Amino acid sequence: MKRRTFIKRALGGLFTAGIFSAGTYYYAREIEPNRITISNHDIRSDKIPRAFNHFKIVQFSDTHIGFHHSLDKVERLIKKINDQEPDLIVFTGDLIDQPDSFEESEQLGRLLQDLHAPHGKFWVYGNHDHGGYGTDMIKDIMSKGDFSLLKNTHSFIEKDGQAILLLGVDDVILGSPNLSEAMPNESFDESLTILLAHEPDYADTTTKFPIDLQLSGHSHGGQIRFPFLGHFYTPIFAEKYTIGKYQLNQGNLSLFVNRGIGTTRLPFRLFCSPEISSYTLKSS
């Protein structure tokens, strides 16, 4: 190959790589973070009461509002969730990225009121909710949005005289989670038991309790993933269980890790789009 041809092809290759990198940068910053996907899961168990057959639970997580996620995007998110016609809505933490600098709490509380679920809306703290002096502020916003906090406590979800059990624990990193405290003192039927825990790696504690289903977030699925290589980075307590479904405790516990809605640290998503999770209960 002549020297001039080599230089020409080398420069052409560098130019193409530059264009590809610019295109990837634009996609990862402007396109994929706005492409919210709906993940549908059927939950089958003989512990699901007949009254809850086809009962739909919708989970969203890690909105990180304020870090490249505006209230306009929250409005679109609310519409997508309502379009699923959920019976129950759960939020698994990290509402605002930096609570100490957030100035739109009143508007956000009113927006969250527009989420509709006939059997209630529940939430648990994430690490960003406790951080930045946000503990009380986030609680106030969620209360205005008609969400009930599950902080080491539980709620029986009732329908037609039957019930399933929903529990939630405090954040692992900046809170004080206590699943023993969350469990009911009174006896309850062997019906489906669901735990909300922000950090997915808490599942190793959950396996010591009679929990059937754990719903978590926190990991963002890695936020940036590469084909064949997987995620680039996940935070502490999301290093073991990072994305999707896991069967633990000899199959007695199903863990689902939601990829979240927003971004943090870096405003990018690549091969890891935002996610709303929809769980349809199927009585055996």
With bands split at pLDDT 50, 70 and 90, how would you rate the model's confidence at 72?
very high
Q: What is the mean pLDDT of residues 173-196?
A: 91
Neighbours of 204 (CB within 10 A): 14
**Residue whose pair of structure tokens reads 């990180």 in the numeric block:** 64
Q: What is the per-residue pLDDT for 226?
A: 82
With bands split at pLDDT 50, 70 and 90, how would you rate the model's confidence at 4?
low
Q: How many domains does the chain have?
A: 1
Lowest average pLDDT, out of 50-54, 112-116, 267-271, goes to 267-271
Task: Provide the β-strand partners of residue 282.
Answer: 44
Q: What is the per-residue pLDDT for 138?
A: 97
Crossing angle of the two packed helices 135-144 and 105-112, in degrees rounded to 10: 40
19: in domain? no
* Residue 171 lies in domain: 35-283
- Per-residue pLDDT at 196 exceeds 80: yes
Helix (H) or strand (E) holding 24: helix 3-26
Lowest average pLDDT, out of 98-102, 112-116, 139-143, 152-156, goes to 98-102
Lowest average pLDDT, out of 21-30, 196-205, 261-270, goes to 21-30
Write the CATH number for 200: 3.60.21.10
6: in domain? no
20: in domain? no
30: in domain? no
Report which of 34, 40, 79, 63 is spatially closest to residue 256, judged by C-alpha positions.
40
Express each pLDDT in 233-256 by its tens digit.
Answer: 899 999 999 999 999 999 999 999
pTM: 0.92
- Per-residue pLDDT at 219 exceeds 80: yes
Express each pLDDT in 117-134 by its tens digit.
Answer: 999 999 999 999 999 899
Q: What span, in angstroms and rounded, lies between the C-alpha atoms of 258 and 253?
A: 16
Q: What span, in angstroms and rounded, lies between the C-alpha atoms of 207 and 184?
A: 17
216: in domain? yes
Helix/strand/coil for 214: strand
Q: What is the per-residue pLDDT for 24?
A: 83
16: in domain? no
222-231: Cβ within 8 A, 24+ apart: 222/272, 223/263, 223/264, 223/266, 223/268, 223/269, 223/270, 223/272, 224/28, 224/266, 224/268, 224/269, 224/270, 224/271, 224/272, 225/270, 225/271, 225/272, 226/270, 226/271, 227/271, 231/272
Contact between 258 and 275 under an 8 Å Cβ cutoff? The reply is yes
Helix/strand/coil for 102: coil
Sign of the torsion angle spanned by Cα atoms 52, 213, 169, 223: negative
53: in domain? yes
Q: What is the per-residue pLDDT for 106?
A: 95
Strands 121-123 and 148-149: parallel
Crossing angle of the two packed helices 71-83 and 105-112, in degrees rounded to 10: 10
23: in domain? no
- Per-residue pLDDT at 13 exceeds 90: no
